[in-house]
Structure 1
């Protein structure tokens, strides 16, 4: 049976969902702006071979708010492992969760396996875009930065009561367009809503979004890969999301950079055919098979 819990991590409460099972434990982490509900379809596909635990990262879903740092987030993961009695879990994360998985592997050589599902910081410098003219790269990065500025400014916004039904309908349409489970998608949307003092706002807050953006922009993964001794797999995308298509040259160059970085670091990597950054939604069954095979071979 699926069991939802709120555990005390000391600094803040952490919301956890236990999918049950007696197989080797696996901790599954969502991306920035998401929550544990967004990992439900993948968790169900993994459940026959693992005891799957998902959680809301701090500042997301039903977990508490707290200042964001890599150390603080990794401490939250450790608290979940202790209180859920997870003995040497494999750690799998998507996007921000994938970055945390990589950092967990660096600090926990005893981990049986860590897997990053496109857990990569965004491009911020021309050297992140090999093959692109430096002047054009700088211009495209400036244009992309403006989009991220808009996204950060929208974080934590208040939703007027009469706007909520339209937002839910748009989320339903997005789920259908992506071929996602509509019920799961809407749970993920509603789980990041906060109702306080007669107002509804979204999570993460503006402060959390700003902290996360800074952390991800400053993260260099090559040294992390090089310092990791436990088995690690990095799954990379091969195509753009619809909203990335106006930046097609930039993202094609960045995918080249990610492949080059993984290869130079000696980390095992896989460029997943016909997969975008939304691979968790697009190919959950394929990912579950890749994850299970890798974890079983690494144990």
Structure 2
């Protein structure tokens, strides 16, 4: 599938930028110019100006391979936000020679397995998950792109529900940038979001000792909220790997 894409810069280290679910390549407009190199931001299949198509992880990676070849990105650093961060890990698994892969708060769905939350009593945990799932279901009724065929697959995909087992297999240098603040949610869901983050902090060292973790004072929308700071974190991680 030929993906729509936008180029930022003309030379230097190649970057491939992958947006989150429901987004498109415009998400990188402010951040990309601050990366130390030439970046290509894509619209994933079913998003933005790219064609529709069924969501299959391997097919999506094939799309990205073709895009990298088309733009002459030789062994790019892959940076993804949210869903794109999960794909960055999958790219690194497919391409063990990948110089660096970075996930910007792409790790576990907010509605993942109850065991992935920490510090919340069971009754409050299950009530919070039921409420959050109902909110997501109602929101998806209003979304036209990506269509239901993609969102319904992703909501139940094991890799989307919990990407930590994927991260654990990555041998390339891998950075996970975690948000420390919550997106605006109803006040009664704040304990669930805090328990979600506490579960990540608990599980990452045990499940993914291969992953570098950096926390940033931002919400899940860090790419738009803190583009300069996020770019600086990415540049520092990448430069350290190339200069090691």
Asked if TM exceeds 0.5, the reply is yes
- Once residues 130 and 214 of structure 1 are traced to their aligned partners in structure 2, the CA distance between those partners, rounded to angstroms, is 21
Write out per-residue CA displacement over residues 201-220 of structure 1, whole angstroms, 9 at most, x where no aligned residue. xx212222222222267543
For residues 58-87 of structure 1, give each alpha carbon's deviation from its aligned partner in whole angstroms, at most 9, with x where no partner exists.
Answer: 000110000001111111111111111111
What is the DSSP-based 3-state SS (H/G/I as helix, E as strand, rest coil) of the residue aligned with 2:79? Answer: strand
Q: d(CA) in 2 for partners of 1:94 and 1:41? A: 14
1:140 maps to 128
Q: In the TM superposition, what are the counterparts of 1:230-245 in structure 2 within 5 Å?
A: 230-243=172-185, 245=187
> Could you tell me whether the CA contact under 8 Å between 2:2 and 2:67 is conserved in 1?
no
Deviation above 4 Å: which 4+ runs of structure 1? Answer: 216-219
Q: Which residue of 1 aligns with 2:213?
A: 269
Q: Which runs of 5+ in 1 are unaligned?
A: 1-11, 157-202
Aligned to 2:163: 221
Using structure 1 for the length normalisation, give the TM-score. 0.76
Larger radius of gyration: 1
Residue 93 of structure 1 corresponds to 80
Cα distance per residue 1:128-180 (max 9 Å; x no partner): 21111112111111111101111222221xxxxxxxxxxxxxxxxxxxxxxxx
Confirm or deny: 8 A CA contact 1:69 1:215 kept in the other structure.
no
Equivalence for 2:50:
63
d(CA) in 2 for partners of 1:25, 1:215: 30
Checking the alignment, whether the CA contact within 8 Å between 1:36 and 1:61 is kept in structure 2 is yes
Structure 2, gaps ≥5 residues long: none
> Do the aligned residues in 2 keep the contact of 1:154 with 1:206 (CA within 8 Å)?
no
The yes-or-no answer on 1:291 pairing with 2:234 is yes
- 1:77-129 Cα distance to aligned partner (Å, 9 max, x none): 11111111111100000011011011111222100000000002313222121
Q: Work out the number of aligned pairs and report it.
A: 239
Secondary structure, aligned partner of 2:180: coil
Aligned-pair Cα RMSD in Å: 1.5
Report if the CA contact (8 A) 1:29-1:55 is conserved.
yes
Which residue does the alignment assign to 1:25?
A: 14
What is the Cα deviation at residue 30 of structure 1? 0.6
Q: Cα deviations across residues 215-236 of structure 1 (Å, max 9, x unaligned)?
A: 2675432322221110000000
**What's the counterpart of residue 14 of structure 1?**
3
Query: Using the alignment, how far apart are the partners of 1:286 and 1:239 within structure 2?
Result: 15
**Is the Cα contact below 8 Å between 1:121 and 1:216 reproduced in 2?**
no
Checking the alignment, whether the CA contact within 8 Å between 2:92 and 2:170 is kept in structure 1 is yes
Equivalent position of 1:109 in the other structure: 96
Correspondence for 1:254: 196
- The answer to whether structure 1 residue 124 and structure 2 residue 112 are counterparts is yes
- Whole-angstrom distance in 2 between the partners of 1:55 and 1:228: 22
TM-score (norm 2): 0.93
